[in-house]
Amino acid sequence: MVFRSCCLPGLVLIGVLPTARADDVARVREDFGRDPGWEGRNAVAPPSACVEKVQDFGFSATRHAGGSVGEVGGRIWRSLTPAYYAKKITARTLNDRLHASGRFSVTHSDSSSGVLIGWFHSASRGWRTPNSLVFRIDGETGCFRVFFEYGTQTWKTGGGTTFEGPYQTTKTPMIPADGRTHAWSLDYEPAGAGGNGEIILVLDGQRYVAPLEKGHKAEGAVFDRFGILNVQNSGNSLTLWLDDLEFDGRREDFSADPVWEGVGNRVTFKDCAIRPWHNFGWRDTCLAGGKPGEIGGLVWRIEATRPQEALVYGTSIGTLSLRDELKASGRMCLKAAGADSGILFGWYNSLTAIGAPPPNFLGIFVEGPSAVGHYVRPALRTADDIASVAGTGPIIRPDGTPHRWAIHYQPGGKGRAGRVTVTLDDSPVSLDVPPAVTDGNAAFDRFGFLSWHRGGHYVDIYFDDLEYTASATRATGPKAGG
């Protein structure tokens, strides 16, 4: 898809920066009081992307999971729209011993489906859910696999996976979704793993163990529900049944309706948050702080093999390079996010805007490992394929808090190293830029936002009061309609 030409309505020239080419470079500001008319690729999903979903789970006078008549379960969809059916419990934390057991049966499973069973909080939201300690049934077409995991109240996660590693040497098996009954138990021992905390899953007599990451128990988690929670990610449905539950000294055989709390568990709705369709652009909201008007929305990490699904959203800046001093700043708010998600923003080239990071890119990378959450850190890549990303940075949490951010790139001059520094609020992180990079081949003609090209999940993120370096010629050029 070819970019259309666009100008910058409402663009304000606020001063010339003292750069290596001071006559050619200026800084501009956009407060997004109205739609800036930026160019976009895959920024808005077509109406055909939406899917009608029917959440239909709760108490049922059936016996799919074995035992006498009466059980809980039904058809459960993966969706960013939360849904659960659960018992209200006295609040528990990662300092408490936890035990649950029972039987389950999966009678139908689509690809990319899933459900969580265990302890969570009524306000828990997102993929790799914070404030949770659960086992997860991940569905494929006609089969499923069982994971077990936790999330702290600070959005840090961990647990057992299907891959062999230092904490798990036996893989959980792939199981047919044929309606057979499976016995399970889930225990949490706060004193396990040398005091770090330890989760033990027993599935059909096979034991699997995983410790909490060091320090995560101290981060804390609060659970006020036990039951069924949908996996909050884009996907499909499976049909699950649970019976003869025991948890925290309580027994439920479901011979009668337990009258648990249901939220979104028996509804029909149109789901438009479907991977890989982004929904990013101008909004009349003020989530990032300041006055109404900002840019932002839902952005997915995209498979490297499917670059045609990438988000590109930005504005023309003329032509800049790594020989120019570059600055940008503004406000941002990470409203929500799943683990393993991210977004890039900064200077890029409209002809090479695909990659991780793409060639001809210098800017900020919001992303991080599941055990941490989301770093805010500098990243760059030249046209000659020299790439560098800071290993860590200040952490931003998907809690809706507005933050100030800034990026400053200082070229080192011929034969001397440069530096790029990213600051979130008052916390900076710097990345040295070797002379070979500064002197190398890179050209930027846009400033804006890009998806990250390694398969993953979503961020819901917003930006306001943006200032950025552009070509002085471009900054003072004609406005839209001029």
Q: Tens digit of pLDDT per residue, the chain (482 long)?
A: 223 333 333 444 443 334 445 557 888 999 999 999 999 999 998 889 999 999 999 999 999 998 899 999 999 999 999 999 999 999 999 999 999 999 999 999 999 999 999 999 999 988 889 999 999 999 999 999 999 999 999 999 988 654 333 444 457 889 999 999 999 999 999 999 999 999 999 999 999 999 999 999 999 999 999 999 999 999 999 999 999 999 989 999 999 999 999 999 999 999 999 999 999 999 999 999 989 999 999 999 999 899 999 999 999 999 999 989 999 999 999 999 988 899 999 999 999 999 889 999 999 999 988 888 899 999 999 988 888 999 999 999 999 999 999 999 999 877 788 999 999 999 999 999 888 777 767 899 999 999 999 888 999 999 999 999 999 876 544 333 22
| CB 397 within 8 Å of CB 383 | no
| CB 435 within 8 Å of CB 414 | yes
Looking at the chain, which residues constitute the CATH 2.60.120.200 domain(s)? 12-48+275-475
The rounded distance, in Å, linking the Cα atoms of 407 and 424 is: 9
Q: What does the block give as tokens for 214?
A: 């060091």
Q: Which residue, among 34, 35, 16, has the nearest Cα to 25 in the 3D structure? A: 16
Long-range contacts from 422-429, C-beta under 8 angstroms, 24+ separation: 422/364, 422/376, 422/377, 422/378, 422/390, 422/393, 422/394, 423/394, 424/376, 424/393, 424/394, 424/396, 425/394, 427/394, 428/394, 429/376, 429/377, 429/378, 429/390, 429/392, 429/393, 429/394
Give the global pTM.
0.87
Q: What does the block give as tokens for 452?
A: 């990250």
End-to-end CA distance of the chain: 26
> Which residues are within 8 A (CB) of 69 and not within 5 positions of it... i.e. 6 or more apart?
61, 62, 63, 255
4-39 residues labelled b (16+ CB within 10 A) or e (exposed): eeebbbbbeeeeeeebeeeebbbbbbbbbeeebbbb
> Which CATH code, of 3.30.70.20, 3.40.50.1820, 3.30.70.360, 2.60.120.200, is assigned to 12-48+275-475?
2.60.120.200
Fold of 51-271: Jelly Rolls (2.60.120)
* Three-state SS at 58: strand
- Residue ranges of alpha helices (H) inside 325-465 are 435-438
The rounded distance, in Å, linking the Cα atoms of 473 and 362 is: 21
The rounded distance, in Å, linking the Cα atoms of 411 and 413 is: 6
| pLDDT at residue number 325 | 93
436 DSSP 8-state letter: H
Count of other CB atoms within 10 angstroms of residue 219: 16
| CB 186 within 8 Å of CB 101 | yes
The rounded distance, in Å, linking the Cα atoms of 321 and 273 is: 36
- Asked whether the CA dihedral 318, 324, 329, 332 is positive or negative, the reply is positive
Q: The tokens 């011993």 sit on which residue?
A: 97
Looking at the chain, which residues constitute the CATH 2.60.120.870 domain(s)? 51-271
